[in-house]
Structure 1
Amino acid sequence: MTSRLIERTFSLRSTATQVVMEKPYILATTLGAPGGIYECFAPFIEKHFTIVPYERFVQSKGHSADKIQAVFVWGKTLKVDQNLLQSLPNLKAVVNGGVGVDHLDIPLINSFGVKVSNTPHVVDNATADIGMSLMLASARKIVEGHIFSKSRESDDFPESSLGTDVSGGTLGIIGMGRIGYKIAQRAQGFEMKILYHNRNRRPESEERAVGATYCTSLKELLERSDFVMVVVNLSPQTHKLIGAKEFAMMKPNSIFINISRGLVVDQDALVDALKAKIIRAAALDVTYPEPLPRNHPLLSFPNVIVLPHLGTHTMETTQIMVERMVTNALAAVTGGQLPDEVKA
């Protein structure tokens, strides 16, 4: 075999291998950029996919549009609207990182023959942990103590530094789903009395396992709880579920914690309740908008903790979320059933 023929043979083999080995294309906010998946997770995604950065896609007016089969949504920087869907003729799935999909128009996406998935279950422990963290930090004034240590002008603790006990207190959980139940399990360790209000009552065996008591009305839960934690999904039924009327039902020494979605709470009513000292304090992992403007009234209260939606913000949970996104996307591009498909 001549050298020219050998070269041609290897060239053909190499081309064939490239065709076989070419990875599916996905569209995603630039990894490591603001609003994108952290760059440390890039090697795992790139092992399975060729990533088309959304910013380059927009600038090039549709770079590789016909090759893109999945869109990775992380946060809300990449908007999946009709224009984007029309520009991706071979799109098979919109894969969301996280549980909440209220920012996605699922009926619209489905109308293009495109499936939607999220990453449920994997976020449960981390979100329950942040709920407990907020309750403890607010009750024991952890943030205020830290600030005192950094900028104290005296060694004497002011009377205002007195916190309130969590152990033995009554925790009211609004929304006893997977995450709410895990919070109840954790609260048991603090010997708390646990009340819950849900659309559907849990089996008595599950109630007994965590020592939880079902409240048929939200009013009953609010009136009896020292700590009120909201863990519901955002829906038309839960939009501004907690407002002025609900805050007025709470104990004056109660602490309000929200780890669900910002729009579940009427923030103006919360501000008014804090100003009027209708409740003791509030601790929020979610707001609207996210993050809050720096001049927002909620950021001015010494008895309010506001986090920038850190519920699932751990290395371990984020890794699992990215893995689930890859699993769902691979199922979509190979014509399989998406393990975590979300129906309209």
Structure 2
Amino acid sequence: MAKILCVLYDDPVDGYPPQYARDSIPEIEHYPDGMTTPTPSGIDFKPGALLGSVSGELGLRKFLEDAGHELVVTSDKDGPNSEFEKQLVDADVVISQPFWPAYLTEERIAKAKKLKLAITAGIGSDHVDLQAAIDNDITVAEVTFCNSISVAEHVAMMILALVRNYIPSYQWVIKGGWNIADCVERAYDVEGMHIGTVGAGRIGLAVLKRLKPFDVKLHYTDKHRLPTKVEKELGLTYHPDAESLVKVCDVVTVNAPLHPGTEHMFNDELISRMKRGSYLVNTARGKIADRDAVVRALESGQLAGYAGDVWFPQPAPREHPWRTMPHHGMTPHVSGTTLSAQARYAAGTREILEHFFAGKGLRDEYLIVERGKLAGAGAHAYTAGDSTKGSEKAAEFKKAS
């Protein structure tokens, strides 16, 4: 019997939903690159249900308990007295989501003597100290591609919301006003703008594809250059580094994984090289941008707007300056946890568990760390190291609640 410790975000404030806005979600069997969606032996949930919160349990309880395993589900993840910290000591498997991450720091991993597998229900495993996982022979896996398109759609929405000044205009309606001049004094067309992505993997490429119909000029940088055919089809300009890209772009979107090589990439120096009045959209990871540098750039006018749904740590402390800085379009980390995406990453989590318990190898696409080294998708996208330092400040959100 194994003990599975699952950390999920809290239920809605008004309780778990008795019904939903829609009766179903589209069925998707393959991702754009041909990779199949998760293929577990079965599921014990209805696609389109709220699975990512505590009561949803990722639809795993029946499957695990029928097999004789123990499932512990909690949202209490931060601080030395948290339920997560107490239960971690004898856990064999930890499941967490990027949206409400259970930070597996070196110190926590040292306490988890039985831990063999850390699963990200979603994509992005930077909340795990990957170096500590490597050193302690812990397998790290995530449900690759499960919510990449979800995030790409969110990026396109945020770019339009910033450039068209949508949020302040909506707020005038709520206030009962009709203040057209106030609405449009910061509103522009995206047509003809230069838009670039830092990172052109599954999410970044999907963003570029969605922006092409807006008649914009597209740019990208990535350590893995895209095929010439793709560059020609989308009219892409390749840049060898972020510095050369940001100089020419009106909008920059960040779609790269967080690791020591990207941590605080968008600092004062890099932002100063961007066009004055450009926009920065970050749905990758909050720590890729220097928190205070973003605030300073918005206050000075170097940036015309900043939007994203990723923070560091998560949940962000109540006094986090991104909550109150000017001209922002921040949301909680929601881009990759739509009800549609939850059906895929819940099924993918079950697929990983089924293979793990059966002693079968995991899909190469799902692997981040295996047998003491970066593997699969992890070897392609990450560098070894630790990006969890400072995560203990997430406990400040709980203290303020």
Cα 1:149/1:107, change in 2 over 3 Å: same
Find the counterpart in structure 2 of residue 76 from structure 1: 101
> Structure 2, unaligned stretches of length 5 or more?
13-50, 66-70, 375-401
Shift of 1:335: 0.7
Decide whether aligned partners of structure 1 residues 86 and 333 sit closer, same or farther in structure 2, where only a CA change above 3 A counts.
farther
The aligned runs of 1:1-344 (5 Å cut-off) are 25-29=3-7, 37-39=52-54, 41-42=56-57, 44-50=59-65, 51-53=71-73, 69-74=92-97, 75-77=100-102, 79=104, 89=114, 91-152=115-176, 154-159=177-182, 161-162=184-185, 163-339=187-363, 340-343=366-369, 344=374
Distance 1:182 1:211 in 2: 14
Deviation of 1:264 after TM superposition, in Å, equals: 0.8
Q: CA deviation at 1:122?
A: 1.1
Letter in 2 for 1:333: F
Change (3 A) 1:297 1:106: closer
Q: Distance in 2 between matches of 1:293 and 1:107?
A: 26
**Does the C-alpha gap of structure 1 residues 41 and 297 become closer, same or farther in structure 2, counting only changes over 3 Å?**
closer
CA contact (8 A) 2:250 2:278 kept: yes
Q: State the Cα deviation string for residues 207-252 of structure 1 (Å, max 9, x = none).
A: 1121111123433321211111111111211111111122222222
C-alpha distance in structure 2 between counterparts of 1:294 and 1:93, whole Å:
32
Contact 2:160 2:190 in 1 (8 A): yes
Cα deviation for residue 157 of structure 1 reads 1.7
CA apart distance, 1:165: 0.6
Give the Å deviation of 1:76: 2.3
The change in CA–CA distance for 1:216 and 1:157 in structure 2 (over 3 A counts) is same
CA distance in 2 between counterparts of 1:58 and 1:300 reads 29
Q: Closer, same or farther in 2 for the Cα pair 1:111/1:333, shift >3 Å? A: farther
Q: CA deviation at 1:179?
A: 0.8
SS in structure 2 of the partner of residue 158 of structure 1? helix
Secondary structure, aligned partner of 2:196: strand
1:135-192 deviation digits (Å, cap 9, x = unpaired): 011111111111100114x434234533111123211111111111100100112111
Cα 1:80–1:325 change in 2 (3 A) is: farther
1:3 counterpart residue number? none
Contact persistence 1:144–1:161 (CA under 8 A):
no
Change (3 A) 1:113 1:278: closer
1:125 deviates by 0.1
Tell me which protein shows more helix as a share of its residues. 1
Length, aligned pairs only: 318
> Structure 1: which 5+ residue stretches go unaligned?
1-22
Distance (Å, rounded) in 2 between the aligned partners of 1:87 and 1:107 = 15
- Measured in 2, the distance between the counterparts of 1:176 and 1:122 equals 17
**Equivalent residues of 1:28, 1:78 under 8 A apart:** no
| Pair 112,244 (structure 1): closer, same or farther in 2 beyond 3 Å | closer
Which residue identity is paired with 1:28? C
In structure 2, relative to structure 1, the CA distance for the partners of 1:321 and 1:213 (3 Å cut) is same
CA 1:334/1:272 → structure 2, altered by over 3 Å: closer, same or farther? same
**Alpha-carbon contact 1:41-1:319 (below 8 Å) kept:** no
Tell me if structure 2 keeps the 8 A contact 1:233–1:260: yes
The answer on whether the counterparts of 2:276 and 2:301 sit within 8 Å (CA) in structure 1 is: yes
RMSD: 3.1
State how far apart, in whole Å, the 1-side matches of 2:267 and 2:160 are: 24
Q: Deviations over 1:310-330 (max 9, x none)?
A: 120200101111111111111
Change (3 A) 1:41 1:137: same
Note the C-alpha offset of 1:37. Answer: 3.4
Taking the aligned partners of 1:132 and 1:319, their CA distance within structure 2 comes to: 22
* C-alpha displacement of 1:288: 2.2
Alignment partner, residue 398 of structure 2: none
TM-score, with length taken from structure 1 = 0.81
Structure scoring higher RCO (CA < 8 A, sep ≥ 6) equals: 2
In the alignment, residue 7 of structure 2 is paired with which amino acid? T
Larger mean Cα displacement after TM superposition, 69-78 or 188-197:
69-78
Larger-gyration structure (1/2): 1
**Per-residue deviation, 1:94:** 1.8
Share of identical aligned residues, percent? 23
> Normalized against structure 2, the TM-score is what?
0.71
1:93-149 superposed Cα distances (whole Å, 9 cap, x missing partner):
221212211121234335544322111111210110111111011111111111100
Q: Distance in 2 between matches of 1:304 and 1:58?
A: 32
Write the distance in 2 (CA, Å) between the matches of 1:195 and 1:43. 37
